[in-house]
Structure 1
Amino acid sequence: MDITLLDLEIYWWLLVSIIGALFVFMTFVQGGQTLLYTLAKTEDERDLLVNSLGRKWELTFTALVMFGGALFAAFPLFYAVSFGGAYFVWMAILFCFIIQAVAYEYRKKPDNFYGQRFYEILLYINGTLGIFLIGVALATLFSGGNFLVNDMNLSMWTKQSYGLEALLNPFNLAFGFMLVFLARVQGALYFLNSLDAPEIISRIQSVTKKNFIIFLVLFLYVLATILFSDGYVYDTTTKVVSTMPVKFLHTFLELPLLLVLLLAGITTLLYGVYIALFKNSHKAIFFTGAGTVITVTIMIFILGIHNSVYYPSLADMQSSLTIENSSGSYYTLSVMSVVSLLVPIVLGYIVVVWRSMDKTKLTIDEIKSDSHHY
């Protein structure tokens, strides 16, 4: 069977969706960073939390780089339009992740000029502002951006706020805060799984419950807005973009397998929170993590299929981006597809390393005995 360019575009959009979903799951590191003064009451307890997260923080950054790299390689026009136009938002995100690396590196350095608390504030900024801005950026895939693309595929941003205007959209704000509170829930459940510290564990249930309620309200608003708002579609022959009432609801009804997967993802996430709150299960993070990956994968994937526009232009509807008008060439996508077959090996390696690091639960005594801790 011959593989068409559209087949490759769909394949790569699916990969981008999966990598993006894995990144959203990995933000439990950022969520945990926002809980340092909520779950920990002493310096020893904060050291324990920071070092537990310190074992994983690079994975979040790696997933973010992979997400951006996959978009750049497979859909270069999107990379040019978004990263080149809405650069105030993307530079702010980059700054938030740079200070995270600095904080882990210097928090416990001898003769720390700024003090330990300063670097813990940097970790908090990374976990709140950084994740919030990423959520806003992802939300614009649904709500759109103020850009123009000409016949030569040269783009320009039409607002001098260069992406910051997205903060005026209630949907974008809700999406950003939703990811922040999801990360906080996941962070709390990660601590539940990885720590041997009864005092901290006893505080996790209350923190999880409060943050999950806020997340759930925001999630229902975001999901309802996506399902019942107008969407953008393009004609496969003329490539003309137009609006369509309740576009994504139609997509799910016409592709029921995606609806089943979405409901399975949401159910798995809810089950993970349930067993954490009512069964005191230390394995809840694996269910909420799996549910997050499935749900986010489907929500991103529907943007690129079924004649959907995945990045609407608010300045000129016909400048909107689709997987067809923004992708690389057949040769580029086919060569990269061969390389992408190595992805399962990389993921398998991460799983093995993860299990090795978390074979035994981390304790305060172990941190104290390690002279090179974060």
Structure 2
Amino acid sequence: MFDLLTYQQYWWFIVAILGGLFVFMTFVQGGQTLLNTLAKDEDEKNIIIASLGRKWELTFTTLVMFGGVLFAAFPLLYAVSFGGAYFVWMAILFCFIIQAVSYEYRLKPNNFLGQKTYEFFLFINGSLGIILIGIALATFFTGGNFIKSEMNLSSWKLPTYGLEAVLNPFNICLGFTMFFVSRTQASLYFINNIEHKNIVRRAKTQVKIDGSFFLLFFIFTFGYLLTLSGIEYSNEMFIIRENKFFNNILETPLFIFSLLSGVVFIFYALYITIIKNSDKGIWFFGIGVVVAITTILCLLGFNNTAIYPSLSDINSSLTIENSSGSLYTLEVMSYVSLGIPIVLSYIYYVWKSMDNEKITSDEVKSDSHHY
């Protein structure tokens, strides 16, 4: 129906949307880092864990979907990033494994590690795990140390296999931006989801703190991004172009509109929460985050921009054109993707069903199977 390039651009846009949705869902991880900040006794801690426990699987599922779409639509990108920088991705996977184990066994009787250990695991998942994901995603802009042969076989050129990414200032900034956006969203989520005046009061205070750090990191990181050089390609020729991402924004007015729209939603969410004492901030903030992150990821993939620059050999850089699946694969996947709105509608329905009423202390105490 369409040509190959159209399908490639379509599927990169889907990847960008999934990236935005994942960042929104990290409010679960942010909440885990706030457990000992917002809760002052075991009852309050159980309420917070119960609130997060209803949603933690959605974050993991969104991450798996993100990786799955990359694997199917852009298999070479998946192989180079997940396979080459595997020390980073294995560390991320470990952080999510201990999260799943912690929710399952935190209150199990006679668990040999103890409740505090599992709560520490949740903190590791929400802090180190999220920062590492931010660093890994940042390498799509800053690149990796790999080479690609004519047979599309890749190899990593450094023995650290991706860990060297933690030394790049931009990567670190994006990692901490994700850390603070997850904590800000968590507090907004608790305000909306929990019926407990002390937790809500502390969460509103935490919104001011983490929201301020998030805005500082976001502004600095985005400004940093606009100064980065990027890899531009034409007819299989690669060149380094200064201020590539800034130029991409100027050349695509839609990016300017969508980015500003996302920022407006974010500021509005903070305004109605802090000034108007509204409990609906999480929804406006979430929309803003999804739109902003989707826009930022779309700075890659379009306007002849490499989606994974090679720091070892510029001609090995990956693009949506040289790393994608076949026309047949992308076309079939596109038909399947038409069912995505149905899946999202079902998720929304289930979410609303679970959150018809806010979580209370009595509800948690009466549930013998809570997390």
Q: Please confirm whether the aligned pair reaches a TM-score higher than 0.5, indicating the same fold.
A: yes
Other-structure match for 2:31? 32
Q: Is the 8 A contact 2:30 2:183 kept in 1?
A: yes
Identify which of 324, 327, 338 aligns with 1:327: 324
Instruction: Please state if 1:299 is matched with 2:296.
Output: yes
Q: Which SS does the other structure have where 1:325 is aligned?
A: coil
Q: Which SS does the other structure have where 1:233 is aligned?
A: strand
The structural deviation recorded for 1:205 is 1.7
State the distance in 2 between where 1:251 and 1:161 align.
32
State the distance in 1 between where 2:296 and 2:3 align.
24
**Alignment gaps of 5+ in structure 2:** none
The structural deviation recorded for 1:228 is 2.1
Residue by residue over 1:198-218, the C-alpha shift from the partner in whole angstroms, topping out at 9 and shown as x without a partner, is: 011111122111111111111
State the distance in 2 between where 1:254 and 1:103 align.
47
Other-structure match for 2:124? 125
Q: Which SS does the other structure have where 1:351 is aligned?
A: helix
Identify which of 280, 285, 292 aligns with 2:282: 285
Between stretches 56-65 and 204-213, larger displacement belongs to: 204-213
User: What amino acid maps onto 1:240 in structure 2?
Assistant: M
Residue correspondence of structure 1 range 245-324 to structure 2 within 5 A: 245-324=242-321
State the distance in 2 between where 1:273 and 1:135 align.
23
Q: Is the 8 A contact 2:22 2:62 kept in 1?
A: yes
Between stretches 41-50 and 212-221, larger displacement belongs to: 212-221
Q: Is the 8 A contact 2:20 2:293 kept in 1?
A: yes
Q: Is the 8 A contact 2:85 2:156 kept in 1?
A: yes
Q: Which SS does the other structure have where 2:21 is aligned?
A: helix
Instruction: Please state if 1:174 is matched with 2:163.
Output: no
The structural deviation recorded for 1:7 is 0.2
Residue by residue over 1:124-152, the C-alpha shift from the partner in whole angstroms, topping out at 9 and shown as x without a partner, is: 00000110000000000111100000100
Instruction: Please state if 1:8 is matched with 2:33.
Output: no
Q: Which SS does the other structure have where 1:313 is aligned?
A: coil
Between the aligned residues of both structures, percent identity stands at 58
State the distance in 1 between where 2:284 and 2:87 align.
35
Q: Is the 8 A contact 2:191 2:204 kept in 1?
A: no
CA RMSD of aligned residues (A): 0.7
State the distance in 2 between where 1:242 and 1:281 align.
49
User: What amino acid maps onto 1:15 in structure 2?
Assistant: I
State the distance in 1 between where 2:242 and 2:89 align.
31
Other-structure match for 2:357? 360
User: What amino acid maps onto 1:56 in structure 2?
Assistant: K
State the distance in 1 between where 2:169 and 2:299 align.
22
Other-structure match for 1:218? 217
Residue by residue over 1:4-54, the C-alpha shift from the partner in whole angstroms, topping out at 9 and shown as x without a partner, is: 000000000000110111011000000001000000000000000001000
Residue by residue over 1:218-266, the C-alpha shift from the partner in whole angstroms, topping out at 9 and shown as x without a partner, is: 111111111122221001x2x1111112111111111101110111001
Residue by residue over 1:106-164, the C-alpha shift from the partner in whole angstroms, topping out at 9 and shown as x without a partner, is: 01111222211111101000000110000000000111100000100000000100000
Residue correspondence of structure 1 range 185-196 to structure 2 within 5 A: 185-196=184-195
Q: Is the 8 A contact 2:147 2:313 kept in 1?
A: yes
Q: Which SS does the other structure have where 1:281 is aligned?
A: coil
Instruction: Please state if 1:80 is matched with 2:79.
Output: yes
Q: Which SS does the other structure have where 2:111 is aligned?
A: coil
Residue by residue over 1:166-194, the C-alpha shift from the partner in whole angstroms, topping out at 9 and shown as x without a partner, is: 01101101110110010000001000000
User: What amino acid maps onto 2:105 in structure 1?
Assistant: Y
After the TM superposition, which parts of structure 1 deviate over 4 Å for at least 4 consecutive aligned residues? none
Instruction: Please state if 1:116 is matched with 2:115.
Output: yes
State the distance in 2 between where 1:231 and 1:155 align.
21
Other-structure match for 1:202? 201
User: What amino acid maps onto 1:307 in structure 2?
Assistant: N
User: What amino acid maps onto 1:325 in structure 2?
Assistant: N
State the distance in 2 between where 1:117 and 1:364 align.
21
Between stretches 37-46 and 267-276, larger displacement belongs to: 267-276
Q: Which SS does the other structure have where 1:298 is aligned?
A: helix
Residue by residue over 1:44-67, the C-alpha shift from the partner in whole angstroms, topping out at 9 and shown as x without a partner, is: 000000010000000000000000
Residue by residue over 1:257-279, the C-alpha shift from the partner in whole angstroms, topping out at 9 and shown as x without a partner, is: 11101110011111111111111
State the distance in 2 between where 1:93 and 1:211 align.
23
User: What amino acid maps onto 1:103 in structure 2?
Assistant: S
State the distance in 2 between where 1:10 and 1:320 align.
17
Q: Which SS does the other structure have where 1:187 is aligned?
A: helix
Other-structure match for 2:241? 244
Residue correspondence of structure 1 range 39-50 to structure 2 within 5 A: 39-50=38-49
Other-structure match for 1:22? 21
User: What amino acid maps onto 1:27 in structure 2?
Assistant: T
Q: Which SS does the other structure have where 2:110 is aligned?
A: coil
The structural deviation recorded for 1:329 is 0.3
Residue correspondence of structure 1 range 226-237 to structure 2 within 5 A: 226-235=225-234, 237=235
